[in-house]
Structure 1
């Protein structure tokens, strides 16, 4: 039998480590004197102790060390544990290399520009909800596979587009720092949405975006892409456009009951909604052969896109802006708007 000091010298584990692994149930002494608490180990336990010492040095978690000790009589099982831990270490090293590379890039900058934004979580959540439906996930167009966060003097603007529609929403905020545009990856935006409570802090730099909500911190590298300029697409103002206030539930009900008009794009069929303005100035749904005589007062759009834009615009009333059959349909709410590309008739 070996005393704890002898076991420490034989295994490479310190006395305090042996006591710790005893309490953890990983390496329990063969005997413990009930009067003195003195621990004694069998010679056969030296091999297990040396295994523990080695696994400890490479940072294996205690539960996995315990399993390795328990399976010491089955070397293939222990080897599998070693391989799994090695893969974790390699993954962690790759993550560390990427982070260190990012830090080196920051150090290379003469001045690190950071813009800090503070706003209510509810306002940011509403802005995200208003644009997320329009975001692209098409790998063929990586420059729009994200949500644009744009900091202004006293607000943050969010933009998403998939080429067939664009959604823009603005939320009032306290902004400290220069104007900046950051395209956040979609996984960041989707992970951020459930965390939004209380007050949210955003930090935007040309290369990264960080969000802090009560009890949570989320960070991502910015997408290095040339995101479309939403102001150029939305401007200049359309003085000839017809602007009609619509009741969202009523329009949704009419869309649901209208006879379907179908189109096909790249082999995929979809329903079309044809909107017209009647002489009284109200929006109506038209059949395929019943276009309005006024060329400015009708437009055809993807029906599902229109329903999503109505949902994103919020409950109650919205303003539809029609500017002819070849101009985008605008759906405007209190905090933002959507543009839907017309369907060729």
Structure 2
């Protein structure tokens, strides 16, 4: 029989860990003296102690390591743990690569300027979003409450453009998207809306039944001064879900000017002649 100190020296498990393993039933002493409480281990338990120490040193969680001793499948447990670790490392490597791309993009300067614009009539396809955009996910069916894929957004823009043309509204080329809090939503739990907007020469006539759709908004941006940030991709590929550098540059500029926005609606559009000349413009209306 081995005392707890002798067993610790033999297996490499600390006395403190052995007491914990006893309390959690991961590795129970062969006997415990009723009078003194001293723990004693049998020679046959050295193998289990060595296996437990080996699995724990490899990062195997204690419940899984204890189960391996009980079921006699230490090699399988280690193999499964290794697979999980490698998957996690792959995910971490991917996240590191994405973070590096984002930091590189943030370091690239964006042009910021003020623009004075007249009234801009527009029509928009309104898409309800969940308040937590990360939880919204992506749904190819374009269900309400789900952020649309790029393909879905392009299709919705095309359908809206065709509707505008057929109605004689003369849609312009500079379409944009924007995010805003839904009108009338509670401040503590605001609902979000994505607007897919086409500028038009005139809004639909009142009473035109073809526009009688709660998912369509006809409105007008009033004469305004916009603060606009323009960021050119120059071949950079931003990871999905990252905050766009143009948005960061825009809010940096707002902070530098000491501007407190009255409306949090941010408008974004893509400009350029081709893929090599693409730029993202992000704008807000200055108070």
Shorter chain as denominator, the TM-score bin is 0.3 to 0.5
For normalisation by structure 2, the TM-score amounts to 0.47
Higher relative CO (Cα under 8 Å, sequence separation at least 6) belongs to 2
Q: TM-score of the superposition, structure 1-length normalised?
A: 0.40
